[in-house]
Structures are given as C-alpha cells and as structure tokens.
Amino acid sequence: MDLLIAWAQVLATALVAATLYVGWRQAKAMELQLAITREQVADLQETRSRQQLYEVLASLVDIRADIERVISLDGKALRAWTEEERRSAYTVCAKLHLVGILVVEKLVPERLFSFAWYWGVPACFRILQPYLAELRADRDSRYFSAFDALNRRVLEQTRDFAGWA
C-alpha cells in the first residue's frame, strides 16, 4: 500500500509539474501575442496619424486663396481690411485652430506638419494678431487659442529646420 501511495504522489507531482509547465508556456504565448497586438495597434495609430496629416494638408490647400489673402494683409491696418479680407482671416484662424487641436491631441504628426508649414503658420499668426485681439476682446480671451499653441509648436519644431534639401 505504501508503494501505491508513493507512486500516486510521484504521479501527482509529475502532473502538477506538467500543468505548471503548460501554464507557463501559455503565459509566454499570451505575452508574445500581446506584444504583437501592441505593435499592430502602434502601427495602426501611426497609419491613422499620417492619414490625418494628409487630410489636414489637403484641407489647407482648399483655403489657399484665403491664406494668400491673409499674407497680403501684412502691414495693412486692421480698420482698412475689407469684408472679404475679414472672412479670409476668420477662415484661416478657424482652420489653423482646428489643426492646432489635432496637433495638441497628437492626432497629427507635429514635426511633419511643422516642417510642411514652417513659414505659413508663423506668418499668418503674426499678421492675424490684431484680428485675433479684436475677436478675443469681443468673445473670449481663449478664442482660437489652439492657433496660438500651433504657432508655438511650429516655431519650436522648426527652430533648426534647414529645409528639405
């Protein structure tokens, strides 16, 4: 009887060891699968981010005439702006505010956007300062504030940008 109990204990120990080994192997397999899933999620997020950058850049091309109109206002007093120039100023502020939100929320690659708009965003921001001050005095000091954030980030990202050459 003692021999039977001894063999039963050996068998039970072997089964426990085998169960632990199988559990350990399953945990390793799950860990590997989790790492692969994380990598796939990161790839998906990067792909989405680049797609959103493309869409943002395409939408800014759509307002190219407004941007050029704003750039032409450089040095012109705010009180002398026409209604068309004011509409363009509002469109540019609104669009760059929305882009700023996307950049701040890391939905658009900040560095790539900054390199693409290294001159345009700071130029528009500088020219539109009197208009923004007027809007903010009438509405709220935070009005179009993501445009401010976008300008700061573009300036930071492009401090040492030497161009694409």
Q: How many Cα atoms sit within 13 Å of 155 on the Cβ side?
A: 11
Q: Which residue has the higher pLDDT, 65 or 48?
A: 65
pLDDT at 107: 85
pLDDT of 92 > 90? The answer is: yes
Q: What is the mean pLDDT of residues 99-110?
A: 91
Q: Report the alpha-carbon distance of residue 143 to residue 93 in Å, rounded.
A: 10
Q: What is the pTM of this model?
A: 0.71
Both tokens of residue 144? Answer: 């179009």
- pLDDT tens digits, 7-63: 878 777 877 777 877 878 887 878 878 777 778 777 777 777 778 777 877 888 889
Q: Report the alpha-carbon distance of residue 78 to residue 51 in Å, rounded.
A: 37
> If pLDDT is split at 50, 70 and 90, which confidence band does 89 have?
very high
